[in-house]
Amino acid sequence: MLSCAGAVAAAFAAAIVAPQALANSTAPADSRLAPAPPALEEPFQDLTPDQAIAAIHGTQKVGLVAFHTAWDGESRRMWEHTWADPKVRAWLAEKTVAVVVDGDKEKELALQWKVTTYPVVVLLRPDGRVIDRFKGYHGPETFLIQAEAAITGKLTGKISVLEGERALDPLAHLERAGALYVNTRIDECLDEYLWCLDHADGSDEAFLDRNLDFVLKKVMTLGRTTARALPELKERRDALTVRAFAGFLDERLTGHLVRYNFWLRHEHRTLAVFDELADRGASQDKCRAVLFPEVLDLLIGLRRYEDALTYAVDPLIWINPLLTEQRELLAKSAASEPHESPAQQAGPAPSTEDGAKPENAAATPAKPGSGLSASDAARLKELRQELALRTGYFYEALLGSGRGADAHKLVELVTDFHATGRIFNLLIQHALRVEMPLTARRLEQMASGLLSEKGMQLVRRAARKIPADTPQLAPDPSPDPDPSEEAKPGPEGENGEGKNGERGPQTDGHEQHQRGR
């Protein structure tokens, strides 16, 4: 028998029969083709939001409305990991009356609740007022911490006095911040969030690793009400920048600096720090190594190809660790499934998901990584997303620098391990950015020999942008993109590419800074 977690994940996986949509919040052109959401399971109930509100009257529970769609990647992650987690399910059963709304089938209801992106989780009082709402994917642990803090602080509205050990507990400060917000004591609420930024490491160093984005987002939200909020964040960001220049910032705090700049919408400052550290010697190498993956998209968007490749030395240095960690997770998954048949154990390669052709068309192998825990499965997904993005960025840099043979070797390495429609979609976009339509056509042909019809739908979506006068290739062409066969990239701004400062191609609504954080 499947466990509860396995049953939820299996139910959702069975429902996904349409092509895997890009992991953003843009609905398919024809939502009627989108698969149905998974069948409801306890603790979710077959109720409308209004019925859920009525059901919590006279109880100590809150209403929880989960807005999802079957086509959205982050919605799937919530079903497969967060809602399938035993601790989350127990919490939902004890503390909530939980319902699900399918945003495709209930478009008017979603608009009524001001839901325009997915997934969204709304916590409700018995009178129907919103306690809090969470947008996007939240892992099990993060969801429980943030939902419990919201309920404890905002639902009761009771402002507790923090004394003794509770005065050093970051969760207690989050609860107090929620209560202060409900009582419109905004500046005091801000002080509680700032305490978490300044002092949480003293009692729980892992707290900010898990919740930094949550706290920064709350402070940015308070910036709509109090003029203090943004200057307070900038002051802390600037202090981290000074420490970086002085050589006192470790890898962990360098990551924090990146997140401050992300929420302040100052990603260009992250790139400025990266450039500045280049002149400060080898002592800054650790900080630059942390910053480089975060600024790679900016370097490519600015067409600073030589700068990206000079720092990278060899793109494989940045690709191989992603492949190695995925292999380790897949080996762990295989070890947790001892009852596979010999045929299943031998075939197909790890890249059979996302539209890749199985080596044995008659076999129906389990999804790679299906035997992993929720945290390991989420990590595997993050690694694959990171692999697709980095491969695309380095591919464009190599093409733009006239290193077509190296670009081809990179494509072969990655697609031999994990050929997917998403990866080829990105590669075609990057080839077109450097005005190499023939190379893009070769990629399309290469994909047709590796991917199933499902995967090719994503490839064709990108291939539609290949100029119509680009010649069709003979069957089985060599995919080696020799830049000498095509014109060199034109000046920035031609062919609708945008002026200097533009980022790389849009990648499924998940810009690099939002991956799995």
Answer whether residue 308 is part of any domain. Answer: no
pLDDT (0 to 100) of residue 460: 94
Answer whether residue 470 is part of any domain. Answer: yes
Torsion region of 510: left, alpha or beta (phi above 0 gives left; psi -120 to 50 gives alpha): beta
CA gap 187, 192 in Å, rounded: 9
Are both 368 and 504 inside the same structural domain?
yes
Q: Indicate the pTM of the whole model.
A: 0.66
CATH of the domain at 92: 3.40.30.10
Task: Give CA 275 to chain center in angstroms.
Answer: 26
Are both 295 and 419 inside the same structural domain?
no
Beta carbons within 10 angstroms of residue 19's beta carbon: 21
Answer whether residue 360 is part of any domain. Answer: yes
Last residue of a domain, one of 94, 118, 152: 152
Are both 358 and 297 inside the same structural domain?
no
Whether the CA torsion 316, 318, 324, 327 is positive or negative: it is negative
Are both 53 and 144 inside the same structural domain?
yes
Are both 120 and 78 inside the same structural domain?
yes
pLDDT (0 to 100) of residue 321: 95
Answer whether residue 310 is part of any domain. Answer: no
Are both 450 and 498 inside the same structural domain?
yes
Are both 378 and 352 inside the same structural domain?
yes
Are both 334 and 438 inside the same structural domain?
yes
Are both 297 and 336 inside the same structural domain?
no
Answer whether residue 194 is part of any domain. Answer: yes
pLDDT (0 to 100) of residue 117: 87
Answer whether residue 287 is part of any domain. Answer: yes
pLDDT (0 to 100) of residue 156: 57
pLDDT (0 to 100) of residue 370: 65
Alpha helix stretches (DSSP H) within 278-373:
285-301, 305-312, 316-335, 342-346
Last residue of a domain, one of 301, 329, 356: 301
Are both 213 and 349 inside the same structural domain?
no
Q: The tokens of 263 are what? A: 């929420």
CA gap 325, 308 in Å, rounded: 23
Q: The tokens of 99 are what? A: 């319902």
Number of H helices, E strands in the chain: 21, 4
Answer whether residue 87 is part of any domain. Answer: yes
DSSP string, 197-249: HHHHHHH-HHHHHHHHHHHHHHHHHHTTT-TTHHHHHHHHHHHHHHHHHHT--
Q: 285-318 b/e with 16+ CB inside 10 Å = b?
A: eebbebbebbbbbbbbbbbbbebbbebbeebbeb
Are both 326 and 270 inside the same structural domain?
no
Q: The tokens of 382 are what? A: 């993050």
CA gap 134, 78 in Å, rounded: 12
Q: 63-93 b/e with 16+ CB inside 10 Å = b?
A: bbbbbbbbbbbbbbbbbbbbbbbeebbebbe
pLDDT (0 to 100) of residue 429: 96
The parent domain of residue 269 ranges over 229-301
Looking at the structure of the chain, the number of domains it has is: 4
pLDDT in tens, the chain (517 residues): 344 444 444 443 333 333 333 334 444 444 444 444 455 577 899 898 999 989 988 888 899 999 998 888 888 888 888 998 899 999 999 999 999 999 888 988 988 888 888 999 999 988 888 888 888 888 888 898 888 877 876 655 567 777 788 888 898 898 888 888 878 889 999 999 999 999 998 878 788 988 999 999 999 999 999 999 999 999 999 999 998 888 788 888 899 999 999 999 999 999 999 999 888 776 677 888 889 999 999 999 999 999 999 999 999 999 999 999 999 999 888 776 655 444 444 444 444 455 666 544 444 445 666 677 777 888 888 899 999 999 999 999 999 999 999 999 999 999 999 899 999 999 999 999 999 999 999 999 999 999 999 889 999 999 999 999 888 877 654 545 454 455 444 433 333 333 333 334 444 333 343 444 4
Are both 259 and 211 inside the same structural domain?
no
Answer whether residue 28 is part of any domain. Answer: yes
Last residue of a domain, one of 152, 181, 201: 152
